Homo-oligomer: A and B are copies of this chain.
Amino acid sequence: MTTGNRTEWTDWTESLRHVRSQSGPKVRSTRQRQAVVEVLENAGDFRSAQQLHADLRDRGDQVGLSTVYRTLRSLTEAGHIDAIRAEDGETLYRHCVTRRRHHHLVCRKCGRAIDVPPPNIDTWSEGVAAETGFANLTHRLDTFGTCPASA
């Protein structure tokens, strides 16, 4: 797990600005947004907006729930964080560690998630493309299980 390099996220405002600049309002750096990003970064795992809100409160940062939602949405749209849907429908967010293609193994009980190497799907994928005529295939593979600690 790469925790040393902070340059990965310190420029999130910059990125947001870049993404939105095409046809949107300016992006400002605020205490709240920094806090959300930080807590998400520290968590490492996937966390729901509500969990993050609680995390912030625990840390002593007072941030409105709506702001948490708004920030997470912006960051997701900007491609700065990952968002997946839990089996129960909640949306879980996670600081995007790598740009590389990767998949997640999420614990059903504690929500902890780890990155797993992708299975070798390419051959299958090409086969599917050839048989169906579909082009530009992309995948989203979510794996769920029970982690040792929660068993």
Binding site for B on A (CB under 8 A): 85, 89, 91, 105, 107, 114, 116, 119-121, 124-125, 128-129, 132-148, 151
Q: How far is the CB of A91 from chain B (nearest CB, A)?
A: 7
A89-B85, A145-B129 given; A135·B151 CB < 8 A: yes
In whole angstroms, what is the CA distance A120 to B146 when docked? 22
Asked if A134 and B120 sit within 8 Å, CB to CB, the answer is no
The count of identical subunits is 2
A144 surroundings in chain B (CB, below 8 A): 137-140
Asked if A147 and B119 sit within 8 Å, CB to CB, the answer is no
Using CB atoms, name the residue of chain B closest to A122: B119
Q: How far is the CB of A80 from chain B (nearest CB, A)?
A: 18
Asked if B141 and A139 sit within 8 Å, CB to CB, the answer is yes
Q: Which of B91, B105, B137, B138 contacts A132 (CB 8 A)?
A: B105
Q: Which of B91, B139, B143 contacts A137 (CB 8 A)?
A: B143
Asked if A119 and B116 sit within 8 Å, CB to CB, the answer is no
Asked if B116 and A132 sit within 8 Å, CB to CB, the answer is yes
Asked if B132 and A136 sit within 8 Å, CB to CB, the answer is no
Asked if A146 and B119 sit within 8 Å, CB to CB, the answer is no
Q: Which of B134, B146, B151 contacts A105 (CB 8 A)?
A: B134
A148 surroundings in chain B (CB, below 8 A): 132-135
What are 20 A-to-B residue pairs whose CB atoms are below 8 Å? A85-B85, A89-B91, A105-B128, A105-B132, A116-B132, A119-B119, A132-B148, A133-B147, A133-B148, A134-B145, A134-B147, A135-B146, A135-B151, A138-B143, A138-B144, A139-B143, A140-B140, A140-B142, A140-B143, A140-B144
